[in-house]
Structure 1
Amino acid sequence: MKVIAFERNLQGTGASRRLRNTGKTPGIVYGASSEPQLIELDHNALWHALKKEVFHSSILDLEVAGKSQQVLLRDVQYHPFRQLVLHVDFQRVDPNKKLHTKVPLHFMNQETNPAVKLAGAVISHVVNEIEIECLPAALPEFLEVDLAKIEAGQTMHASDIPLPAGVALTAHVASENPVIASATIPAGAVADEAADAAAGEGEAKPAA
């Protein structure tokens, strides 16, 4: 995904406010053993790009003054109540160094899960993204989690996520192995089942 930015010479609160008043958003690019670079971006284009999942989880081609560099979006500051992006941070990517970044989880086959269709189970997504490490070329846009076979009362953990070649969970995620999804039977459904069972037993008893 390509992003167009422009060099920014002035910094400070006043300069940033004046920039925003002209429909621009201040930002910075840093990392990869190079000096930080102040940039500005068109606010409306940035606002729409930020609504796309791929903008948050993929390597971006950032063009500044005709020169392109690969970056990751690292931070976004929003106005507390206005639809306004105050500042963005991008980190340069070194193709030979592993990245530590979060990628979205896409949960698949929940609707066709037998526990959901037949037993009334409810599957909860405990987390929607997970932190991984990989070289930039191996960075996936998202990871798929297949919920087709999870049964009522079961949980799925980070270690259950199939990872593409060259991609691994970060060390702390691998050691903690957090729950990413769980399947439960709602309390109301359990009570209804128990009531139905009791009614069935009552009907089966012979009259005194």
Structure 2
Amino acid sequence: MKFVAFERAKQGTGASRRLRITGRTPGIVYGGATEASLIEIDHNALWHALKKEAFHASVLQMEIDGKSTEVLLRDVQYHPFKQLVLHIDFQRIDANTKMKKKVPLHYSGEENSPAVKADQCLINHIATELEISCMPKDLPEFIAVDLSNLTKGHSLHAKDITLPAGVTVVAPGSSNPVLVAVVATKAEAPTPQEAAAAAGDNKKKK
């Protein structure tokens, strides 16, 4: 995905405020072998780009003065109640160095799973994105996760899903985080043996 940016000469709160009044958003690009660069982007174009999932989870082509640089979106600051982007950060990437990035999880097939069709369970999407490590050329826009084999009483973990080639999971604090949980919607009726045992307990109490 490609976007156009322009070099920005001035920095500071006052300069950034004046820039926003003209319909442009201040930003910065850092990383790589060169120093950080101040940039500005047309706000309307940026606002529409931010609505696209690919802008958040793929390698972007940033064009400045006719030159293209590969970057990743790293941070966006929004106004607390206005539809306004206050500032945006990008990181340059090295095609020969592994990178870390959170990518969206696209779930499908849960309505056909035994947990839903046979047991009327609810599927709880605990994670909507997953941090991965890969070379820039292997960065997926999203990871597809098939839930059609989910069964009652089981959860889906990171190690249970099929990752694209060259991609590994980065999971601080947990080597195998839970992505999806199966939740029962109602209490099951007791088995005849359980019912008989409960009846016997009630008689003893009388």
Report the TM-score when normalising by structure 2: 0.89
Contact 1:8 1:38 in 2 (8 A): yes
Match of 2:135 in 1: 135
Identical aligned residues as a percent? 59
**Secondary structure of residue in 1 paired with 2:110:** coil
Q: Distance in 1 between matches of 2:172 and 2:16?
A: 37
Deviation digits for residues 136-179 of structure 1 (CA, Å, limit 9, x no counterpart) = 00001111111111111111111112111111112637x43110
**Gaps in structure 2 of 5+ consecutive residues:** 196-206
Aligned ranges for residues 47-126 of structure 1 at < 5 Å?
47-126=47-126
Residue matched to 1:179:
178
Question: What are the superposed Cα offsets for residues 76-117 of structure 1, whole Å, 9 maximum, x if unpaired?
Answer: 000111110000000001000000111110111011112212
What SS does the corresponding residue of 2:118 show, helix, strand or coil? helix
Q: Which runs of 5+ in 1 are unaligned?
A: 202-208
Q: How many pairs does the alignment contain?
A: 194
Match of 1:11 in 2: 11
SS in 2 for 1:111: helix
Aligned mates of 1:185, 1:171 — CA distance in 2: 27
Kept in 2: contact 1:98–1:134 (CA 8 A): yes
State the match for 1:145 in structure 2.
145
- Determine helix, strand or coil for the equivalent of 1:34: coil
What is the DSSP-based 3-state SS (H/G/I as helix, E as strand, rest coil) of the residue aligned with 1:19?
helix
Q: Secondary structure at the match of 1:141?
A: coil
CA distance in 2, matches of 1:96, 1:65: 25
1:194 aligns with 2:189: yes
TM-score between both structures, scaled by the size of structure 1: 0.89
Post-superposition, which runs of at least 4 consecutive aligned residues in structure 1 deviate over 3 A?
Answer: none
Judging by fraction of residues, say which structure has more helix: 1
Task: Give the direction of change, closer, same or farther, for the CA distance of 1:147–1:171 in structure 2 (3 Å limit).
Answer: closer
Distance 1:161 1:102 in 2: 16
Other-structure match for 1:41: 41
SS at structure 2 position matched to 1:47? helix
Shift, 1:66, TM fit? 1.2
Instruction: Verify the 8 A CA contact 2:30 2:36 in the aligned structure 1.
Output: yes
Q: 1:102, 1:130 within 8 Å by CA — same for their partners in 2?
A: yes
3-state secondary structure, aligned to 2:9: coil
What secondary structure is seen at the aligned counterpart in 1 of 2:189?
helix
Deviation at 1:119, TM superposition (A): 1.3
CA–CA distance in 1 between the matches of 2:180 and 2:40?
40
